[in-house]
Amino acid sequence: MSASVGVIADADAVLQSAAAVYHRDARALAVIDELRTRLHEPLRLAIAGMVKAGKSTLLNAMLGEQIAPTDTGECTRVVTWYRYSATPTVTMHPHKGAPRRMPIRREHGRLVLSLDGLTADEVDWIDVGWPLEGLKSVILIDTPGIGSLSGDTSARTERFLTPETSPSAADAVVYLMRHVHGADVHFLEAFRDTAAGAAQSVCAVSVLSRADEIGSGRIDSLLSAGKVARRYENDGDLASLVLRVIPVAGLLAEGARTLRESEYIALRELAGLQRTDRERLLVSADRFVRPSETTTLSTDVREDLLTRFGIFGIRLATALIRGGARSSSALSEQMVQQSGLIELQEFVAAQFHTRAATLKARGVLLRLQQLLRDRPRDGLDEVHAGIERIEAGAHTLRELSLLAVARSNGLPISATDAEDAQRIVGADGTAVHLRLGLPEDAAGDLVGATVTKKIEHWRRTVQSPLTDRAAVGVCRVVLRSLDEIASEVGVGRSLRPAPDVMLAGGPGDGLGHHAAQQGEKHEGGLRGKKKRKRFAALPQRHPLG
């Protein structure tokens, strides 16, 4: 049984044990049924950010279809779920009354959502089912903008993603920002301290949205945006809250994923203009939509192109067509590649989808723990013990924690070991060859020899009297990852470390305890001895593995 299947099965068994104890409590059973559903459904990935950050546009780009409203209507002020369904469905869930099935209506290719006469304050959430392959592995959740002039609008997102008295409803977050704002940091800190972010783990990736605007729409705008993103990644406030900052031109990505043949023909005409005429027409958005005899395209057609792609997208598209994009599909593919969307999708797949089982189980068990506290009963010892066993094995959360610490403060080990440690715990992805720094087609003998060599190196390091306590904490996490790799590839007897090598964070420690430690670190900052105590302070109770 794979680790992913195992943690889901273990969590399911704990839920069944809890249901047996609460068999006469209808309210508790309803919660347990909801948790079981969450456990077996796809990863919940929320899209969040400040107002006008481009959340719905990015969501449409990720889906490859225009089904998320991007205007300023009432629907954009309501939390909206997008999940897989064999046939399109839209269901509105009011705060009062039964859910309402809504009609499916599209205008100019976009899905139109209506609140059926209700205000956003009267609606809890909207559930959109859509037959898209991408939704089979993830539930995308569009949230209202943070920092809205309407306090109620911001509060909806905060109640959903960062509730004060219960775990977050999302497993991970894609957070959009145009620059680092205090409200961004505040939200990400709050999310880290909820269910998905417990145990010092970081389950958020930041998107530097509308990246084409950073370079004023120049062809090289995304290069400039990339430099800004790298600077933000090292920002003291942000570095420990997100795993990466990725620049994405959302409007370009959405337009490219939904490119129409008629739009390709129009862009091809623009690409065929004489250079001076084309440059004069594309000098600005205002100039582009003015009446002109330079092109046969009407002002209406040009306005539509500007709405769909922005001036940066039009400039890029004409350049790509001149460079050899001979069809709409070729142009679409190249524009998507340039937009930054692929990098974001690959990151989400490598860091969140591969850890989906643990992230889902963690959220489910924290909500179950809340139920146990709120409605205590005799006979829950087996349930508590099951939760502790799963938490003890939730190593993937410690990997995410180590990556966050490495980015925000550095690791208290040599530069070479620090680079190797981050790779082993999954900085480049969780596939075995990526963790070991090997080519994808590496032979089994090479894989086995590499993992054995690395285990021996890190075991020597952790047992050395010259290794201080802060570094030992790092070594334990790395060794646990290597042990799991060894088990996966069938090396020896999984090469377990010596008995005196202990793993912090086992049963009884509680992953929430580590989250509190990280919160204290954030409040005061890690300087001098505090930085070195980060790992040394972790309790040492349970043997590695």
Query: Are 181 and 71 part of one and the same domain?
Result: yes
Report phi then psi at 544, rounded to 5: -60, 130
What does the pLDDT read at residue 200?
Answer: 47
Which of 71, 75, 103 is CA-nearest to residue 89?
A: 103
Domain span at residue 80?
A: 44-252+342-352
Residue 373 forms part of a structural domain: no
Q: Which residue has the tokens 């959302």?
A: 250
57-66, 274-283, 487-496, 510-519: least confident range? 510-519
Tokens of 530: 């505090």
What does the pLDDT read at residue 155?
Answer: 83
pLDDT of 523 > 50? The answer is: no
What does the pLDDT read at residue 71?
Answer: 67
Integer distance in angstroms from the first to the last C-alpha of the chain?
17
Query: Are 114 and 223 part of one and the same domain?
Result: yes
Per-residue pLDDT tens over the stretch 61-101: 999 998 887 765 667 788 999 999 999 999 999 999 999 99
What does the pLDDT read at residue 495?
Answer: 47
The mean pLDDT value for 391-418 works out to 85
Per-residue pLDDT tens over the stretch 263-317: 999 999 999 999 999 999 999 999 999 999 999 999 999 999 999 999 999 999 9
The mean pLDDT value for 329-358 works out to 94
Contact 128, 112 (CB under 8 A): no
Whether the full predicted model's pTM is greater than 0.85, yes or no, is no
Q: Is the dihedral of CA 391, 396, 399, 404 positive or negative?
A: negative
What's the CA gap between 260 and 488, in Å, rounded?
Answer: 46
- How much is the mean pLDDT over the chain? 84
Q: Using 50, 70 and 90 to split pLDDT, how confident is the model at 500?
A: very low
Query: Are 155 and 105 part of one and the same domain?
Result: yes
Q: Which residue has the tokens 């064999």?
A: 86
CATH number for the domain spanning 139: value is 3.40.50.300
Query: Are 99 and 231 part of one and the same domain?
Result: yes
Query: Are 118 and 214 part of one and the same domain?
Result: yes
Query: Are 346 and 325 part of one and the same domain?
Result: no
Query: Are 287 and 425 part of one and the same domain?
Result: no
pLDDT of 199 > 60? The answer is: no
Per-residue pLDDT tens over the stretch 4-33: 678 999 999 999 999 999 999 999 999 999
Query: Are 407 and 280 part of one and the same domain?
Result: no
pLDDT of 542 > 50? The answer is: no
What does the pLDDT read at residue 535?
Answer: 35
Which one-letter amino acid corresponds to residue 167? P
Residue 9 forms part of a structural domain: no
List helix spans (H) across 137-201.
151-161, 182-192
Query: Are 236 and 273 part of one and the same domain?
Result: no
Query: Are 273 and 314 part of one and the same domain?
Result: yes
Greater model confidence, 502 or 101: 101
Residue 327 forms part of a structural domain: yes
What's the CA gap between 52 and 124, in Å, rounded?
Answer: 22
Q: Using 50, 70 and 90 to split pLDDT, how confident is the model at 220?
A: confident
Report phi then psi at 45, rounded to 5: -115, 115
Domain count, the chain: 3
Query: Are 310 and 198 part of one and the same domain?
Result: no
What does the pLDDT read at residue 403?
Answer: 86
Q: Using 50, 70 and 90 to split pLDDT, how confident is the model at 362?
A: confident
Which residues sit opposite 48 in a β-bridge? 175
216-225, 396-405, 485-494: least confident range? 485-494
What's the CA gap between 345 and 339, in Å, rounded?
Answer: 12
Query: Are 129 and 182 part of one and the same domain?
Result: yes
Per-residue pLDDT tens over the stretch 236-272: 778 888 989 999 999 999 999 999 999 999 999 999 9
Residue 527 forms part of a structural domain: yes
Greater model confidence, 509 or 129: 129
What's the CA gap between 200 and 123, in Å, rounded?
Answer: 34
pLDDT of 145 > 80? The answer is: yes
Domain termination site, one of 323, 352, 381:
352
Domain termination site, one of 319, 352, 385:
352
Domain termination site, one of 318, 339, 360:
339
310 — alpha (psi -120 to 50), left (phi > 0) or beta?
left
Residue 386 forms part of a structural domain: no
What does the pLDDT read at residue 194?
Answer: 64
CB atoms under 10 Å from CB of 354, counted, come to: 17
Tokens of 266: 């129009």
Residue 447 forms part of a structural domain: yes
What's the CA gap between 366 and 518, in Å, rounded?
Answer: 18
Tokens of 297: 């395209």
Per-residue pLDDT tens over the stretch 110-131: 788 888 888 888 999 999 999 9
> How much of the chain is in helix, strand and coil states, percent to nearest 5?
55, 10, 35
Residue 357 forms part of a structural domain: no
Residue 362 forms part of a structural domain: no
